[in-house]
Amino acid sequence: MIRRDSSFANRFLGVIILMLLSGALMAQRKPAKNPLESFLDTQFWLGIKLGMNYTQASPETRYTGFSPIDYNADSLQKSYNDFALPGAHVGLEMNFYHRGFSVSFQPAYKRSRFEYNSVLEWRGETSGNRFETRYDVEQRLDVLELPLMFKYDIIRKGKIRPFVMVGGFHTRILSAQKEVKITQVDYASGNPLTSDGGSTSLGVKDSFKPFSGISGGVGVNLD
* pLDDT value at residue 2: 39
* pLDDT value at residue 162: 93
Task: Return the amino acid letter for 93.
Answer: E
Residue 171 CB: number of other CB atoms within 10 A?
19
Pick the closest to residue 93 from 101, 104, 103 (CA basis).
104
The Cα–Cα gap between 92 and 166 comes to 18
The Cα–Cα gap between 102 and 165 comes to 9
The Cα–Cα gap between 43 and 51 comes to 25
Segments in the chain below pLDDT 70:
1-38
Q: What is the DSSP string of the chain?
A: -HHHHHHHHHHHHHHHHHHHHHHHHHHHSPPPPPHHHHHHHEEEEEEEEEEEE------SS---SS--SSS-GGGGS-EEETT-S-EEEEEEEEEEEETTEEEEE--EEEEEEEEEEEEEEEE-SSTT-EEEEEEEEEEEEEEEEEEEEEEEES--SSSEEEEEEEEEEEEEEEEEEEEEEEEEEE-TTSS-EEEEEEEEEEE-GGG---EEEEEEEEEEEE-
Q: Rounded to 5 degrees, what are φ and ψ at 140?
A: -115, 130
151, with CB counted inside 10 A (0-12, 13-18, 19+), is: buried
Per-residue pLDDT tens digits for 55-109: 998 887 887 777 888 888 777 777 789 899 999 999 999 999 988 899 999 999 9
